[in-house]
Amino acid sequence: MSSTAPTGRYRWVVCTLLFFATTINYIDRQITGILAPTLQQEFGWSETQYADITSYWTFAYALGFLFVGRFIDRVGVRLGFAAAVVVWSVAAAAHGLVYSVFGFALARFILGLGESGNFPAAIKATAEWFPKHERAFATGIFNAGSNVGAIITAIIVPWITLTWGWREAFFVTGLFGFVWLAFWWPMYRSVGEHPRVSAEELRYIRDGQEEVTPTTRVPWKTLLSHRQTWTFLIGKFMTDGVWWFYLFWLPKFLDARYGIKLGKLALPIIVIYLVADVGSVGGGWLSGFLMKRGWNVATARKVTLLIAALLIVPTAAAPVVDSMWVAVALVSLAAAAHQWWSANLFTLSSDMFPRHALGSVVGLGGFAGALGGFLFQRLTGRILEATGSNYLPVFLICGSAYITALLIIHLLAPRLEPVQLDVR
């Protein structure tokens, strides 16, 4: 590890591009959650029908992860990320053209396929552009875009909807991805080919990184034969669905439990995701800080994950408190801790796998997380329908998922040993 800061910081420009892509990604996925009470009232959706609509996004997100990681490994981050943004932006705008449950489900499905490219591309770019000790911090920064996206959605979508209508909200937000593309395409190249990267910064970035040939390919069968792969998959499977519950169901929860309507939704949502941003950046920073203080990778990552898991437990009490703001505080803490968790869980993949397999590993992990989310979305709708919109059982699952996941992670990979993969 280099002991001095490098000349040149273009890697942080790349991180900024990844941050804004993630922000737009979350605007386009969250808008349905913000508008859920409005759409449910207009179309008469039941809890189960709403759950099914959101689950189609999650199912497509899962399917996309089966091939999008390999696609990005094959064509590269620049083209792969651009293609994903085009697909999801078109699908996001198309929500404004539909009139039925089937139409929303189809639009959500295509949106999920496109949005599945965000994190494999961003994680692969981070692994290429950052040395190991900076990756968790960089991941935390771009992952904070998810919270910023949620905040922006809570501010602009109610205003657009109340001013012009909910269809116009989908049209406007669907344009954001194309604005981002106008910056991404001219500004991004592979780190070794970029004219804005100094020789010193390039040496700093590549210090300790493995050399990879363009023909490197690792079959899924090989990846799935390693316990380290299952560590990442199980961590994603058990916790991603909780985050999507917050995204897609929190406005409905606040409406059902506390009577918070569209015009008053912005403030509690902003509070929750501002706090979540702190968790995203802070969690990514903490593990890197511990490593700089001499902690080994496994201990630094797992202690950071443990803190996050413990902070999430109190969210189980959110449905039973009388004060809306106490509930918001509990969910805010859980959302921050999830982002803290997520930044480090993503970084586990780059800790344990070489860069040439990273897109595929993150793709498999994304599939597992989305599959867990798909099942949790459908379970949530059926629990609420059966209990008369009692959210307590759902929040109990949310509060216990992370501790359970961390225990399994520790049993599968106690030392987070790097995987040695043959090049094909």
Q: Tell me the domains of the chain and their CATH numbers.
A: 10-210+219-412 (1.20.1250.20)
Residue-level pLDDT at 114: 94
Residue 72 has pLDDT above 70, yes or no: yes
- In this structure, are residues 223 and 292 in contact, taking their beta carbons and an 8 Å threshold? no
Other beta carbons within 10 angstroms of residue 233's beta carbon come to 23
Pick from 306, 275, 309, 303: which is nearest to 290 by CA? 303
Name the pLDDT band for 422 (thresholds 50, 70, 90).
low
Rounded to the nearest integer, the mean pLDDT of the chain is: 87
- Give pTM, 2 decimals: 0.77
Name the pLDDT band for 214 (thresholds 50, 70, 90).
very low
> Terminus-to-terminus CA distance in the chain, angstroms?
29
- In this structure, are residues 246 and 381 in contact, taking their beta carbons and an 8 Å threshold? no
CA 212 to chain centre: 27
User: Which tens digits make up the pLDDT trace of 105-120?
Assistant: 999 999 999 998 998 8
Q: Could you give the CA distance from residue 363 to residue 360 in angstroms, rounded to a whole number?
A: 5
User: Which tens digits make up the pLDDT trace of 365-407?
Assistant: 888 998 999 999 999 999 999 998 899 999 999 999 999 999 9
User: Which tens digits make up the pLDDT trace of 305-362?
Assistant: 999 999 999 999 999 999 999 999 999 999 999 988 988 888 888 788 887 787 778 7
Residue-level pLDDT at 82: 95
Window from 239-253, 292-306, 339-353 with minimum mean pLDDT: 339-353
| Portion of the chain with pLDDT greater than 70, in percent | 95
| Residue 225 in tokens | 């034969």
Residue-level pLDDT at 234: 94
Residue 201 has pLDDT above 70, yes or no: yes
Residue 208 has pLDDT above 60, yes or no: no
User: Which tens digits make up the pLDDT trace of 256-282?
Assistant: 899 888 878 888 988 988 888 787 777
Mean pLDDT, residues 183-209:
81
Residue 76 has pLDDT above 80, yes or no: yes
Higher pLDDT, 217 or 165: 165
The residue to which tokens 């919109």 are assigned: 389
Residue 194 has pLDDT above 90, yes or no: no
| Portion of the chain with pLDDT greater than 90, in percent | 44
User: Which tens digits make up the pLDDT trace of 306-317?
Assistant: 999 999 999 999
Residue-level pLDDT at 209: 56
| Residue 93 in tokens | 């705008």
Q: Could you give the CA distance from residue 148 to residue 23 in angstroms, rounded to a whole number?
A: 6
Q: Could you give the CA distance from residue 348 to residue 170 in angstroms, rounded to a whole number?
A: 35
Mean pLDDT, residues 122-134:
85
Residue-level pLDDT at 7: 62
Residue-level pLDDT at 410: 93
Mean pLDDT, residues 248-263:
88
User: Which tens digits make up the pLDDT trace of 1-44?
Assistant: 444 555 678 888 999 999 999 999 999 988 998 998 888 888 88
Residue-level pLDDT at 2: 45
Residue 84 has pLDDT above 80, yes or no: yes
Residue 211 has pLDDT above 60, yes or no: no
Residues contacting 279, CB < 8 A, separation 6+: 308, 335, 336, 337, 338, 339, 340
- Cα 400 to Cα 51, 238, 297, 375, 394: the distances in Å are 22, 10, 25, 17, 10
Helices and strands, number each (H, E), in the chain: 18, 0
Higher pLDDT, 305 or 206: 305
